Amino acid sequence: MASANNNKSALWLKKLPGFLGPGFLVTVGFVDPGNWATNIEGGSRFGYELLWVVTLSTVMLILIQHMAAKLGIATGSSLAVNIRQHFPKPVTALFGTSIMLACIATDVAELLGGAIGFSLLLAIPIWVGALFTATLKVFLIISQRYHRIESIIVGFLAIITLSYLAELFIVKPEWSQVLPALVVPKTGRESIYVTMAILGALVMPHNIFLHSNIIHSRKWGISEEEKLSVLRYEKIDTIAAMTLGWLVNSAMIIVAAAVFFRNHLSVGSIEEASATLKPIAGPLAGLLFSVALLFSGVGSSITSAMAEANVITGFLAKAEDPRSPFYRVAVIAIAIPSLLIILLTSDTFRLLILSQVVLGLQLPLTLLPLLILSRSRRVMGAFRSSNPEFAAALLVSVIVVALNIFLFYITFN
């Protein structure tokens, strides 16, 4: 009996690496330049105070991304396709239009981050860097296979993580203040805007759509029994990937707090943060900052474009095949409005913050259909959300809506 159990464990561990990947592809989307902007502002203005937002958002994120992936596994279709198939046309149009606006806001942040990264490293104008980033993402998506793109993105994520871990070592934060701030909630009138932006930068609508689609890159079986037997692999992939994202985002705030807040410095842009970081923390810290930003911008730009193409093809009932002409045209076309916004805006830092708030405002319109579909036995079968899971997801949605209401109240009063 012991031998049989050992064999099962060995087989389970042997199969696990083959299922890891989709969660990490999603993770690079929430260590994107929008996160840099919100985390830098949060850390430089409020020190370690808003670290709890990252922790709370990550817990929420694990639940929501797991539900999105499970929807994809159970139905064999993405969230976009399921919305089109199971909701009335006017409701589908509302959901589709709002997520496309959120996708454009996302793409602005990703392209802008890559542009700033290129600008810092190569001393070129922002608009040239934006063109470089857009060209690179389009080329990689339409010319590569999915698994190769996944490997490239995981490599980017590794570089970003190692860069920020090295920066933590360089800046030497006050760990006695960091640890409580990770779990003790604290916010107010002055920090609610940044709190909302951090939430929008972590729990991202386009990532929910993306996860429900790219989960099909793995073989989950045909029957419900086959799918249920390997669902734990998805859970491990999601939890491990989201935890890594929590580590990187927390590190961003910690570094900003240790360098800027500690020295009473106001930071108004990512470029200014890079320039200020070098004389205080040294040139190596500045170089690591720029390198991580570049890989963050390019990597997240690729995943946001994949999400956008999935949204367009899913809602319009087109083939979700990167080799199809429609998919390729969609990837190219969606970059145009984002590029125009970047070219016509001078305050790039505020543009990044605003883009994340847009994501936070749209998020309820992504969570609502996800909750309804996940609770439907007709749609999900044996994968239908349990009472505890649904209750937790509903609580997450209430928190998101409450923060939106609070944000509007603070803005207009």
Q: Where residue 230 sits, what CATH number does that domain have?
A: 1.20.1740.10
308, part of any domain:
yes
Give pLDDT < 70 ranges for the chain: 1-12, 200-201, 268-269, 271-272, 275-281, 346-350, 352-353, 355-357, 360, 404, 407-413
As a whole number of angstroms, the distance between CA 14 and CA 10 comes to: 6
- Whether residue 5 lies inside any domain: the answer is no
Task: Tell me the pLDDT tens digit for each residue of 197-231.
Answer: 777 667 788 889 999 988 888 787 777 777 777 88
Coil, helix or strand for 223? Answer: coil
Report the Cα–Cα distance between both ends of the chain, in Å, rounded. 68
Domains in the chain: how many in total? 1
The reply to whether 330 falls in a domain is yes
pLDDT at 375: 92
* 204 conformational bin, left if phi > 0, alpha if psi -120 to 50, beta if neither: beta
Interhelix angle 270-281/283-315, nearest 10 degrees: 150
Note whether residue 2 is domain-resident.
no
Cβ–Cβ < 8 Å for 237, 23: yes
Measured CA to CA, the distance from residue 273 to residue 195 in angstroms comes to 20
Residue 408 contacts by C-beta under 8 Å, 6 or more apart in sequence? Answer: none
Q: Cα separation of 276 and 272, whole Å?
A: 6
Q: What one-character DSSP code corresponds to residue 31?
A: S
7 falls within a domain = no
223 located within any domain: yes
**Does 4 fall in a domain?**
no
Global pTM value: 0.87
* Alpha-carbon gap, residue 69 to 191, rounded angstroms: 33
Enclosing domain of residue 397: 21-412
As a residue count, the chain comes to 413
Asked whether residue 1 is domain-assigned, the answer is: no
**pLDDT value for 374:** 93
CB contact set of 404 (below 8 Å; sequence gap of 6+): 196, 360, 361, 364
Q: What pLDDT shows up at residue 391?
A: 94
d(CA 245, CA 249): 6
CB atoms near residue 266 (< 10 Å) = 11
DSSP state of 144: S
